[in-house]
Amino acid sequence: MSFNEDQSARGIIRSAFDRRTLLKTLGVGAVSAAGIPLLAACTGGSGPGGSAAASTSLTFGSGSSDDVPKAAYKAVTDAFTAKTKNVVTTNVVPHNDFQNKISTYLQGSPDDSFTWFAGYRMQYYAGKGLLAPIDDVWETIGANYSDAMKKASTGPDGKMYFVPNYNYPWGFFYRKSVWQEKGYEVPTTFDALTTLCAKMKADGLVPIEFADKDGWPAMGTFDYINMRLNGYQFHMDLTAHKETWDQKKVSDVFDTWKALLPYQNPAALGMTWQDAAINMGKKKSGMYLLGSFVTQQYTDKAILDDIDFFPFPEIAVEGQDAVEAPIDGLLLSKKGGNNQAAKDFMSFMGTPEGQDAYAKVDPSNIATAKGADTSAFSPLTKKCADTIANAKSISQFFDRDALPAMANNVMIPALQAFIKDGTVDVKNMESQAKALYAAQ
């Protein structure tokens, strides 16, 4: 039984996870012209003056450049073409580049439809007038979605913009065989978690696998400790800057986190999440706080079947009611709003048929449409789905709930400095946050 490191080298992840890659922009127009050539190949299907009725083709921009999600979206476009005879030209861009240059992309010649995220990261560009509303699409697919999904797909003007494809929970993942061998038990409280970490360290394991070279993974730990200490609403108010950073509630999050620092991988700042996944696959670590996309790294079925997970333990308030479960799906560019074939593609993605086509290739995700096939769910996938379904509150992850500039320019350096030496300057974070949010 071996772990396929070659797959890791190729970085098998989906846009759901690079959905986590941070925008390196302060807002629309903040990207340098250097980013334009990279996305120049992505051109829309029909221009503003084109005939929607006559359209039989569309272009689809995808940041899902790695093997698994790339193949999954190809299965979707193939199924759509087979059903409608509309031809889809897919323009795949390396995931980091796609996320980091999205502003330039949308202001240039974007594809008709493209992969993106729900929540604030969608609402921001909708508010800038760079997306086409799809209320007519939602008239046909609305019954397939819960009220929570509809809310996450609504723009600041009350119009619909987003079609959810899947979401996925963050939690502690681990190898069952390691835990069985060592006699570990799932912790339900923070004290039990730290006690378990001490035992794992004594057993020669890295208790908590951790990697933050790319900046965003540590946000998951911050979000969970924050929600467990201060509640889901405080998380939402902090990311919206309705709460300030220079208060005891925020300092308490970092002070609580300090209890875990000795148990997290000390090489975290030099590692990608794929590197950390390799360690867990090789039984070098006890557990790993990440999204369920981590399972895409395991091509050996024996390893995949050995993976289990548990929700972040309770600390002070709301128990384990809140879960991080980011939603990924499709948006329609302003140009794409004139292309009926593109709207039909959006509608297809919002059906069980479209989401089943994706999920058959990438089973690590949880389809969001009611009626999607769950018969092939593994025990792990079923547990992930149940965790989301039973949650009273669902967060989108810090970099989706917060202002892009706050996530990228303030949160990443602050968290990486904290991971390095355990110090954080919440007053400086508040000063920067105040200026950034005031400028919006």
For 44-102, what is each residue's pLDDT tens digit?
333 333 334 457 999 999 998 888 899 999 999 999 999 999 999 999 998 878 877 88
217 in any annotated domain: yes
Same domain, 31 and 126: yes
* Domain identity same for 60 and 37: yes
Is there a single domain that holds both residue 362 and residue 418?
no
Are 16 and 88 part of one and the same domain? yes
As a whole-number percent, the residues of the chain with pLDDT over 70 amount to: 88
Give domain status of residue 386, yes or no.
no
Residue 269 shares a structural domain with residue 315: yes
**Range list of H helices, 207-291:** 218-230, 232-239, 248-257, 273-281
Residue 269 sits in the same domain as residue 311: yes
Is 251 inside a domain boundary? yes
pLDDT (tens digit, 9 = 90+) per residue, 375-395?
A: 988 999 999 988 988 888 889
DSSP for 51-110, please give it: -TTT--EEEEEE---SHHHHHHHHHHHHHHHHHH--EEEEEE--HHHHHHTHHHHHHSS-
Q: Are residues 78 and 215 in the same domain?
A: no
Please check whether residues 175 and 309 belong to one and the same domain: yes
Residue 300 lies in a domain: yes
Same domain, 291 and 142: no
Is position 5 within any domain? no
Q: Which residues pair with 75 in a beta bridge?
A: none
Predicted pLDDT at 54: 55
Integer Cα distance of 308 and 186 in angstroms: 11
259 and 337 housed in the same domain: no
Whether 384 is covered by a domain: the verdict is no
Domain total of the chain? 2
Domain extent at residue 361: 11-166+328-371
pTM, entire model: 0.77
Residue 357 lies in a domain: yes
Pairing of strands 285-291, 206-209: parallel
Of 97, 62, 11, 20, nearest in space to 296 by CA: 11
Distance, in Å, from the CA atom of 369 to the CA atom of 362, rounded to the nearest integer, reads: 16
Task: Compute CA distances 30 → 239, 245, 364, 436, whole Å.
Answer: 21, 25, 34, 14
Do 178 and 249 share a structural domain? yes
Helix/strand number for the chain, H first, E second: 23, 12
Asked whether residue 210 is assigned to any structural domain, the reply reads yes
Highest mean pLDDT among 96-110, 239-253, 373-387: 239-253
Place of tokens 């006559």: 54
Lowest mean pLDDT among 349-353, 355-359, 371-375, 413-417: 371-375
**Are 75 and 215 in a shared domain?**
no
Can you give the CATH number for the domain in which 201 is found?
Answer: 3.40.190.10
